[in-house]
């Protein structure tokens, strides 16, 4: 599918969302996040990606940090609303020697038919979208019955003082680039008609992985 044909979601006021922000971040993103990558994120990527199987869609792939973690027999399609992020993801796929289909699209309106994928993945994306319920509903729609939704994100903390800090930080980041620190996708996937089959939450509760399944 050609790039440059963005699927802008219908929430008119969001327009391009924060696409320009992410485009600007793309080329320096891996360098700036390297310090959290090994210490905190890599183990979550492993948890999520090792559960992927078959035709797999990644939503909001960013620079493609998950690509090296997928089992070799996964057929991978990655999407993001930022063309600059997708250029980085292409490079990552090439370096990893993996065939990856790259499609520019917004998570609120995925350009795929119902029940297309065996697995749908989103890591550190639902914190950044305008409407996380709508994106979860879209991911469920493109998942075949019996298919797996795999999520990792930073979520609202378990401790009250930390939650207060998250609320303060979010006041700035939500306005600046749409990033939220007080969300918890785990609480929404069941509302969306999915069943949680495995989960893992860090000690202070800020990092959470969820493996949910669309009932078959």
Ligand X SMILES: C[S@@+](CC[C@H](N)C(=O)[O-])C[C@H]1O[C@@H](n2cnc3c(N)ncnc32)[C@H](O)[C@@H]1O
Residue from 55, 56, 57, 62 that binds ligand X (CB under 6 A)? Answer: 62
82 lies in the site for ligand X, by CB under 6 A: yes
**Residue placing its CB nearer to ligand X in the complex, 76 or 146:** 76
For residues 108 and 10, the answer to whether their CB atoms sit within 8 Å is: yes
**Residue 161, by phi and psi: left (phi above 0), alpha (psi -120 to 50) or beta?**
alpha
- Range 41-60, binding ligand X (CB under 6 A): 60
Q: Is there binding between residue 80 and ligand X (CB under 6 A)?
A: yes
Of 52, 55, 56, 61, the one binding ligand X (CB under 6 A) is 61
Tokens 């044909």 sit at which residue?
A: 5
Which string of x and - marks every residue 6-45 that binds ligand X (by CB under 6 A)?
-----------x----x-----------------------
From CA 207, how far away is CA 154, in angstroms rounded?
5
85 belongs to the binding site for ligand X (CB under 6 A): yes
Question: Which residues, 6 or more positions from 114, have their beta carbon under 8 angstroms from its beta carbon?
Answer: 141, 142
> Among residues 125 and 157, whose Cβ is nearest to ligand X?
125
> What CA–CA distances, in Å, run from 163 to 84, 103, 152?
33, 36, 19
Residue 81 makes contact with ligand X by CB under 6 A? yes
- In the DSSP assignment, the letter for residue 58 is E
Q: Which of 70, 74, 100, 107 binds ligand X (CB under 6 A)?
A: 107
Catalog residues that contact ligand X under the rule CB under 6 A.
Answer: 17, 22, 60-62, 65-66, 80-82, 85, 106-108, 123-125, 128-129
């Amino acid at each position: 599918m050609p790039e440059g044909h963005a699927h802008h979601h219908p929430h008119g006021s969001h327009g391009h969302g924060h696409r320009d922000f992410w485009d600007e971040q793309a080329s320096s993103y891996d360098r700036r996040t390297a310090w959290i990558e090994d210490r905190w994120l890599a183990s979550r990527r492993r948890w999520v990606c090792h559960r992927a199987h078959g035709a797999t869609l990644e939503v909001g792939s960013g620079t493609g940090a998950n690509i090296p973690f997928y089992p070799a027999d996964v057929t991978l399609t990655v999407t993001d609303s930022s063309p600059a992020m997708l250029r980085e993801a292409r490079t990552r796929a090439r370096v990893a020697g993996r065939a990856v289909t790259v499609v520019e699209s917004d998570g609120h309106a995925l350009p795929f038919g119902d029940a297309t994928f065996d697995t749908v993945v989103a890591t550190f994306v639902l914190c950044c979208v305008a409407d996380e319920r709508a994106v979860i509903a879209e991911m469920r729609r493109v998942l075949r019955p019996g298919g797996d939704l795999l999520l990792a994100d930073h979520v609202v903390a378990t401790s009250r003082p930390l939650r207060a800090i998250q609320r303060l930080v979010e006041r700035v980041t939500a306005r600046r680039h749409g990033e939220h620190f007080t969300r918890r996708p785990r609480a929404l996937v069941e509302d969306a008609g999915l069943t949680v089959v495995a989960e893992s939450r860090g000690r202070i509760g800020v990092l959470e992985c969820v493996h949910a399944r669309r009932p078959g």
